[in-house]
Amino acid sequence: MKFNFLPQNFNFFVLFERQVGYAVDAAVCFRKVAEQGLADEESLERMKEIEHQGDEAAHAIFDQLNKTFITPFDREDIHALAIELDDVTDMLNTIINRLKVYKLTGVNANLVKFAGIIEESVRAMQCAVHGMRDSKNRAAVATSCVEINRLENVGDDLRDQMLSELFEREKDPITLIKWKEIYQDAETILDICEDVAHVVDSILVKQA
């Protein structure tokens, strides 16, 4: 194994920017599926491809990590960030696959709302990750992390409200089972974005 003894900051930042880009692509794809009320074959194919590219981006980071002796920030933070970013894309792939498996078609205003918030959170995540390159972005990165935390709280309330309405209104238990899982999965995506914000936060604190 050859070690790079000099910090290969360049590589890690480029790799993370690529990886978070796939998360944004996945969030946009999910929002479109929600807006058109159909997880069609084209969207499923597109999402599968994004998820695959995201996997490769994560593996490139793990490989780089294993080959690099001095890293721009703690090894465990690099590892955690790559895992969490991968989880965001994976979960977006899972949710649109569930829409297909459960044959949920037709525009659902709740899902459109959730997809919009998820896209906002993933875009804030992208700002945070891009900002890590340079310490002069510190304040902007912190602002993005606060925004991601705020959106997670919004998502929590939204899910509770949607579940309340669902249990109130939906009398068919099988339909209820499907939407209950979709709303809970949607909220889980915002949880994972918040985990990403925590890792970025922790990197910032250590470099203070």
Token code pair at residue 43:
């969207």
Q: E strands along 11-165, which residues?
A: none
> Least CB distance from residue 78 to a copy of itself, whole Å?
13
Q: Are 143 and 123 in contact (CB under 8 A)?
A: no
C-beta atoms surrounding 208 within 10 Å: 6
- Interface positions, 163-192, toward a copy of itself (CB under 8 A): 163-164, 167, 173-174, 176-178, 180
Token code pair at residue 162:
């949607």
Among 150, 154, 151, which residue's Cα sits nearest to residue 162?
154
Using the minimum distance from each CB to a copy of itself, give the nearer residue, 13 or 62: 62
Using the minimum distance from each CB to a copy of itself, give the nearer residue, 42 or 191: 191
Helix or strand holding residue 14 (H, E)? helix 9-36
Show the site string, 135-164: x = touches a copy of itself by CB under 8 A, - = not: -------------------------x--xx
Place of tokens 């037709």: 106
Show the site string, 71-110: x = touches a copy of itself by CB under 8 A, - = not: -----x--------------------x---xxx-------
> Least CB distance from residue 174 to a copy of itself, whole Å?
5
CA-to-CA distance for 191 and 125, rounded, in angstroms?
A: 12
Q: Which residues bind a copy of itself (CB under 8 A)?
A: 1, 62-63, 66, 76, 97, 101-103, 160, 163-164, 167, 173-174, 176-178, 180, 202, 205-208
